[in-house]
């Protein structure tokens, strides 16, 4: 199948994929977004103008300085400084996948931290998850994917319906089986699983498409409504 020859329905939504030194999932992420109808551009980590984008994606892989701690230096990048203002002004949505989730937590755009897996080993496997009360399967690939937060923060996360993904069989020790989060406004999303690696049934998994289709639907609803409207609150098991 020649993917380059396939045309996808257009939604008018514009997405930016921020590329850091070490990013390695930008191409899969672009394909997944284009399949969902997004117009996609790559931007470098030095970019500061995010005005024209409805969605900014921090993709998986690595970012410079991860040897200190995942996302610790990337949070100081110009694009992340601009992202803070983008979120503050409700310009659009943010999606962080794996390393992107780690960056969002380091930046405090999402609560908690991601620390080494309980068995201190890199995990790469297909993983059963709960998303919108349904079970899906998406790959994971991480060593620092164990989500941790203090008791009060966990209470706020659960109270405000901030969990978008939960592990069915917790592979890394994350508190409350948390695999992905919203921020309190439901505009910022971070997740350790890689939905962009599960959008083609020919490659074995296609449940990742559900994540991108959900994101597209929520963004379109957001654009039709007041700029301060939150994402739909959809509980997970």
CATH number of the domain residue 56 falls in: 3.40.50.880
Task: Give strand pairing partners of 178.
Answer: 166
Look at residue 36 and tell me if it is in a domain.
yes
- Domain assignment present for residue 237? The answer is no
Q: Is 194 a catalytic residue?
A: yes
Residue 16: phi and psi, rounded to 5, are -115, 135
The answer as to whether 235 is a domain residue is no
Set 34, 47, 196, 218: catalytic member: 196
Catalytic residue among 98, 105, 127, 146: 98
What is residue 95's predicted lDDT score, i.e. its pLDDT? 98
Tell whether 231 is covered by a domain.
no
pLDDT in tens, 166-207: 999 999 999 999 999 999 999 999 999 999 999 998 888 999
Lowest mean pLDDT of 10-14, 24-28, 34-38, 62-66, name the range: 62-66
- Whether 98 is catalytic: yes
b or e along 195-224 (b: 16 or more beta carbons within 10 Å of the residue's beta carbon)?
bbbbbbeeeebebbbbbbebbbebbeebee
12 belongs to a structural domain: yes
Q: Decide if 236 contacts 163 (C-beta within 8 A).
A: yes
234 in any annotated domain = no
Give the range of the structural domain holding residue 23, as residue numbers without chain letter.
3-224
Q: Catalytic residue at 127?
A: no
Catalytic residue among 26, 106, 194, 218: 194
- Count of the separate structural domains present in the chain: 1
On the question of pLDDT at 131 being above 50, the answer is: yes
**Is residue 229 assigned to a domain?**
no
Please check whether residue 201 lies inside any domain of the structure: yes
């Amino acid at each position: 199948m020649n993917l380059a020859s396939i045309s996808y329905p257009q939604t008018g939504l514009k997405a930016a994929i921020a590329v850091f030194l070490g990013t390695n999932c930008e191409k899969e992420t672009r394909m997944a977004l284009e399949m969902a109808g997004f117009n996609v551009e790559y931007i470098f980590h030095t970019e500061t103008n995010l005005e024209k984008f409805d969605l900014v994606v921090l993709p998986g892989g690595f970012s410079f300085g991860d040897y200190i701690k995942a996302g610790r230096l990337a949070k100081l990048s110009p694009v992340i400084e601009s992202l803070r203002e983008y979120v503050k002004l409700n310009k659009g949505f943010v999606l962080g996948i794996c390393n992107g989730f780690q960056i969002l937590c380091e930046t405090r755009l999402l609560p908690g931290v991601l620390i080494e897996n309980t068995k201190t080993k890199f995990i790469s496997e297909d993983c059963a998850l709960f998303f919108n009360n349904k079970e899906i399967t998406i790959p994971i690939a991480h060593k620092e994917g164990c989500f941790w937060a203090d008791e009060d923060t966990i209470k706020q996360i659960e109270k405000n319906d901030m969990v978008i993904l939960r592990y069915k069989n917790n592979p890394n020790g994350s508190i409350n089986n948390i695999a992905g989060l919203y921020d309190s406004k439901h505009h910022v999303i971070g997740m350790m699983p890689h939905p962009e690696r599960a959008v083609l049934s020919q490659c074995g998994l296609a449940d990742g498409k559900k994540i991108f289709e959900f994101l597209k639907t929520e963004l379109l609803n957001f654009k039709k409504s007041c700029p301060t409207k939150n994402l739909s609150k959809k509980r997970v098991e």
